[in-house]
Amino acid sequence: MTSNDGSARELGPGPRIRWTRAEPVRSAGLSQGGWAEDAGASALLEAARTLAQRPARENRWLVRGGPGTGKSTLLAAAVSEAIASGIWGGRIAVLGSSARSVDQLRRFIASAVAANVPEGTAAASVEPQVRTVHSLAFAIVAMAASRAGAPAPRLLTGAEHDAIFRQALLGYSEDGGGQWPEHVRPALATRGFARELRDVVLRLTERNVAPEELTELGAGHGRPLWESAAHFAARHEQEMELRTAPSASEDAFPTSLNPAQLVGRAIDELGADPDLLTGANAIDLVVVDDAQLIDPMAGELIATIARSGASVIAAHSGDEAVFRFRGASDEFAEKLSEQGAREVELARVHRGPAAAAASGILAQRLPGAARWRRNIPAIGTPAGPHEAPVVSYRTERSASEESAVVADYLLRMHHVHEVPWDRMAVVFRTVGDGAELLQRQCDSVGIPILDAGAEVPPAEDPMVRALLDVIESVLRTPDEQDTRTLLMGPLGKADPADFRDLRRTLRRLATASGTPQRSMTAVRDLLLGEDEPATILGEDAYGRLSTPVERIRALRAVVAASIAAGDSVEMVLWNLWHSSNKAYSLRAVTGGGGVAGRAADRSADAVMGLFDHAADFVEQMPRGSLRQFVEMMREQELPAPRRAGRRPNRKAVSLLSAHNAVAAEYDVVVVAGVQEGVWPSPRRRFGLFELELLVDLLDRPHMKDLSDAQREAAGMAASAADERKLAVLAASRARENILFTAVDNGEDLAASQFIDELARAGVPRWAAGDAAGETLTEGHRMFTPGALVADLRAQLQTAPGAAESDAAARILATLRTSGFGAASARRWYRSTPVSSNSSPVPEKDKGPRARISPSAFEELETCPLRWFIGRQMSSGTEMPLLKGNVVHAIAQAVQSGVGEGQIESAVREFWPAMSPAAGWVLDTEIEDILASEKLIRGWVANQGGYTEVGVEVPFRMELYPGGPSVEVDEEAVPAVSVSVSGRIDRLDRDESGYLRAVDFKSGGKAVTGAEAEANPQLAFYQLASRLGAIGGELAPRATATDEAAADDPVNKVAGGVLVYVNQKAAVKKGANERLQPAMGTQTHLELIRRATAAGALSIGPDYPAITSKACESCSAASMCPTQNTGRQVGR
């Protein structure tokens, strides 16, 4: 093994451990004496007690069994018996398939050894070597290197190995790719091609297949790409020997190895020096768990150790062989069986009723006849309404409903059945969109989630990416896009509004100085310049606009100073991180939980991973440059190697993929997303190199004699079996309860065949929370504290004074005293008096109390509640409103004689700073605005029969009801005096002297002729013209009862016109028009009556909700008592 500093040591045991009697770990539900009923297991334990008394070749054992049958526990018990019989723990090697498996085996062995200690006594032993195969191989190679007087080789990371492949393929690509088939030459320079080729080479190395054999396979099966890969593999092997050789000597020890080469090198070293495993380094017993998950090369290493005199005990489960696509094979177990190993088959699932029932049902169609599949326990019916079935399923109509059901199931298991969060898991076929949806759902109801699939390359995290951006900005001059990224990233922290204001300010200052320049160029110059931003921007802007610039400037200065001082990559990174003060903010946000907390937790992990990579880089490439490190991190596609097994053990529900669930156990498991076409996946993992077919031909020689059609059929059958094994694996992770979920909408989404098999086997549909069997959206209530309070409140109202009502009141009181505020009646809607009955609009000594605009009048008539909420919520920066203001400004400019070129220049300069869009979307917006300018210009040029009176003509008029109420639509409506003001886009006079109001519209759809005739804005423009209230003059007061004034208006009016200047609403001849006829006496009076009624609605204090077509797009629906989403407001 190697020490922490990398120096080689003897292949030694683990630390000395003092064993005391303790509670056994939570495992397969087996006690130390639980094997008495199994003759085969008892024979194995007896053999373990007498291991040292028989030759090693007689101590070959193969334990077979399905998931949860106790294979790992039996292996731990055998190790305990061997130690108890006198075998030194340091001479026992226990091999697991992964870091999680190794940790589990350590706990099992500790529990088994402790159980052998008599009660009331203490004993001491030495911990066995519990490690992965690659860890053991590295220890052997390091020991051989130490004996040769050479340093231990380092293990190449996945990123480094990928880089070697990409570099070689780039050379092929630059040379024209003549060695490769023509159809793949364009892909030679891509990462995906390099990754697939690397997998091919690794599979060849793991199976000890020479390139010549691959060439023969390619020629014999019409696969020219295999022949090219064989040629590449031969050259790659030679290149790696040159790269890793410290000198020209053939006996020189390699300086680095990839994982497959590492195992092969360990085998070679054991063959060259049989004394490596003698004396203190001898291994008397090799115990292998999950033998179905190791590749042939790893199996050969174990066999080599066994030939040196070690006994072998291996556990194998063909029904859990889920890593065939990664090179795993049954070859080791098959050879062990052929060599006469005694076999033990475990037939009973001990993990729990859920694992036994669910995995047993799904495994019935697997090839073979494993005994454990015959022992499926009966699926009983829950004893009561609050009992959860051991195995159940649920289908819903959409993915969002499915995620809600999963969240509800977890809530009920935690609150009702008291299952801790960390003893529950949700397993997906692959962690993707469904997992993200579930995370959001869980966040909304307070379920803590530990995303086991969140390990991503550090450079994909925003915080790490920002750190690398700062370093890179020092190594090379940043361009405008780099500047934007730096300032608006997590280190600069400029929000879009401030960044837009910064650009505007710099552009204005540049124009004023007589040296105009692009705003982004000015921002970059400010970041890279030496002058203080406060000096450039002015005192008013300092602190808001310049702070992001100051932050990035300071961090760039730290990096530059560290580089100038000759600091290592690790030290440069530390100085930058320490100066950013981000550690404290991440810690604070992480403690808050939810979406932000989980994102901060991921960022903290990613930063730690970045430092792990930096430490490896400094150790492995002492002369490597900072630029090389940044480039390596940008191309990194794997998590940091040291972080993969160190995620915090938080009390949270685990969310993981089925492959990541290997060696994991939980009390409650939800297997989600069991969709047809997803699980089982109908496609084989072929890729360009048809890797699965290649592995089939290498592992199963008989397939070489089959036709292509027969091989395809056999391959599809093998893939189907792999998918079923993956489902069996996921199902077997549960001890007590398991739920399968899927989306089945009766159309394009259907539940998997696995759901059908469970239903046919008598598995019940999970229905907790349903109301009379209704679907989720109609009657399913999620078990949240808020929903519980709602149910209890309903019980109070349903039967006041009854025993159930009294019980509900007691529970509510308990919740309230426990600190749950929603249980307090003080916080229930309509349980407290209205805070105020006064109007938000104060009384006035003189003049109208209400003030509205024509657009507000229209909104008040449509829905007063929507108008009131909109006034409080609107910021005035909504994109449709902003675009409409720009179009109206252009219309004013056109009619004021501004040239076309000036308008286009202004639009192209200012619109990018106003719009959040970018790229082609921004270009499209600009072209739409310029098209509107052309339509306006064309319409104005065609108004030959009219004389322009004014543009943006202001008007203001005071309207009075003539009584306490007015009659609108034959109903008496309370009314108040109202002031109506606004601006008319354009006012014309025709040849007869009549006025015409023009309103420019920027919308993309023109209203109908009937709608134009009733348009209230044009009507108010006409009324203002009739009353003489235009041009800033206040007209005499007008009342709804003054017919004489209505019959004799101040100005004659010809009507109004709506002009649509959006190209989507335009016609072939130009802008689209909708006319409104001239207003008559009755229309004049009716409009005054309606306006005074609207004025009364505007002053409140009541703002009624009115349903209409506008409800479909209303932004206030969540506060509206007429809508489902806001109904609780008024009830």
* 70-98 pLDDT per residue, tens: 888 888 888 888 888 778 878 888 998 88
* Rounded mean pLDDT, 3-10: 37
Angle at 95 between CA 90 and CA 100, to 5 degrees: 115
Least confident range from 243-257, 393-407, 744-758, 1059-1073: namely 243-257
**Contact between 285 and 91 (Cβ < 8 Å):** yes
pLDDT of residue 740: 94
Task: Quickly list DSSP for 1091-1129.
Answer: HHHHHHHHH-S------SGGGGG-TTGGG-TTSGGGGGG
Q: What is the dihedral of CA 409, 415, 420, 423, to 10 degrees?
A: -20
pLDDT of residue 642: 44
Three-state secondary structure along 310-344? CEEEEEECHHHCCCHHHCCCCHHHHHHHHCCCEEE
Question: What are the angstrom distances between the C-alpha of 675 and each of 394, 435, 751, 764, 765?
Answer: 12, 14, 5, 18, 16
Alpha-carbon distance of 1002 to 927, in angstroms, equals 14
Whether residue 1118 is annotated as binding a ligand: the answer is: no
- Two tokens at 735? 């001890």
Angle at 752 between CA 750 and CA 756, to 5 degrees: 105
Decide which of 486 and 543 is more confident. Answer: 486
CATH number for the region 389-455+653-683+713-778 comes to 3.40.50.300
Please report which confidence band the pLDDT of residue 424 belongs to, taking 50, 70 and 90 as the band edges: very high
* Rounded mean pLDDT, 384-398: 80
Q: How many CA atoms lie within 13 A of 462 on its CB side?
A: 14
Question: What are the angstrom distances between the C-alpha of 329 and each of 135, 293, 298, 299, 699?
Answer: 19, 7, 10, 9, 8
How much is the mean pLDDT over the chain?
79
Give Cβ neighbours of residue 887 (< 8 Å, ≥ 6 apart): 929, 932, 936, 1000, 1002, 1061
pLDDT of residue 14: 41
* 733 DSSP 8-state letter: T
Q: What is the dihedral of CA 365, 370, 374, 379, to 10 degrees?
A: -60
Q: Do domains 41-151+260-350 and 389-455+653-683+713-778 have the same CATH topology?
A: yes
Give the sign of the dihedral formed by CA 1054, CA 1056, CA 1060, CA 1066: negative
458-635 folds as: PCRA; domain 4 (1.10.486)
> 847: alpha, beta or left, given left = phi > 0 and alpha = psi -120 to 50?
left
pLDDT of residue 973: 62
Whether residue 220 is annotated as binding a ligand: the answer is: no
| Neighbouring C-beta atoms of residue 255, cutoff 10 Å | 16
- Two tokens at 866? 């929507």
Whether residue 651 is annotated as binding a ligand: the answer is: no
What are the pLDDT digits (tens) for 112-127?
877 776 665 555 566 7
CATH number for the region 41-151+260-350 comes to 3.40.50.300
Alpha-carbon distance of 469 to 475, in angstroms, equals 10
Q: Strand locations in 67-134, DSSP E?
A: 92-96, 122-126, 129-132
User: At 751, is the secondary structure helix, strand, or coil?
Assistant: strand
Whether residue 1113 is annotated as binding a ligand: the answer is: no
Whether residue 639 is annotated as binding a ligand: the answer is: no
Whether residue 398 is annotated as binding a ligand: the answer is: no
The listed range with the strongest mean pLDDT (664-668, 841-845, 880-884) is 664-668
What are the pLDDT digits (tens) for 539-588?
544 456 778 888 888 999 999 999 998 888 889 999 998 888 888 888 77
Decide which of 849 and 227 is more confident. Answer: 227
Predicted TM-score (pTM) of this structure: 0.65
The listed range with the strongest mean pLDDT (790-794, 978-982, 1100-1104) is 978-982
Whether residue 121 is annotated as binding a ligand: the answer is: no
Whether residue 547 is annotated as binding a ligand: the answer is: no
Q: Where are the domains of the chain?
A: 41-151+260-350, 389-455+653-683+713-778, 458-635, 785-827, 850-875+953-1113
The listed range with the strongest mean pLDDT (324-333, 361-370, 500-509, 667-676) is 667-676
* Rounded mean pLDDT, 984-1003: 90
Nearest to 948 by CA among 997, 898, 903, 1019: 997
Cis? peptide before 1101, omega within 30° of 0 = yes
Cis? peptide before 1121, omega within 30° of 0 = no
Please report which confidence band the pLDDT of residue 1058 belongs to, taking 50, 70 and 90 as the band edges: very high
Decide which of 371 and 965 is more confident. Answer: 371
Nearest to 1008 by CA among 951, 1080, 1065, 1083: 1065
Alpha-carbon distance of 52 to 56, in angstroms, equals 8
Decide which of 592 and 788 is more confident. Answer: 788
Please report which confidence band the pLDDT of residue 538 belongs to, taking 50, 70 and 90 as the band edges: low
Angle at 213 between CA 212 and CA 216, to 5 degrees: 90
Decide which of 866 and 20 is more confident. Answer: 866
Longest dimension (CA), the chain: 125
* 698 DSSP 8-state letter: H
> 418: alpha, beta or left, given left = phi > 0 and alpha = psi -120 to 50?
left
* Rounded mean pLDDT, 211-237: 85
State yes or no: pLDDT of 1077 exceeds 90.
yes
pLDDT of residue 873: 66
Alpha-carbon distance of 436 to 449, in angstroms, equals 11
Alpha-carbon distance of 1023 to 1056, in angstroms, equals 11
pLDDT of residue 383: 53
Least confident range from 232-236, 489-493, 622-626: namely 622-626
pLDDT of residue 3: 38
Beta bridge partners of 743: 396
pLDDT of residue 1076: 93
pLDDT of residue 1065: 66
**Contact between 331 and 363 (Cβ < 8 Å):** no
Please report which confidence band the pLDDT of residue 668 belongs to, taking 50, 70 and 90 as the band edges: very high
Please report which confidence band the pLDDT of residue 846 belongs to, taking 50, 70 and 90 as the band edges: low
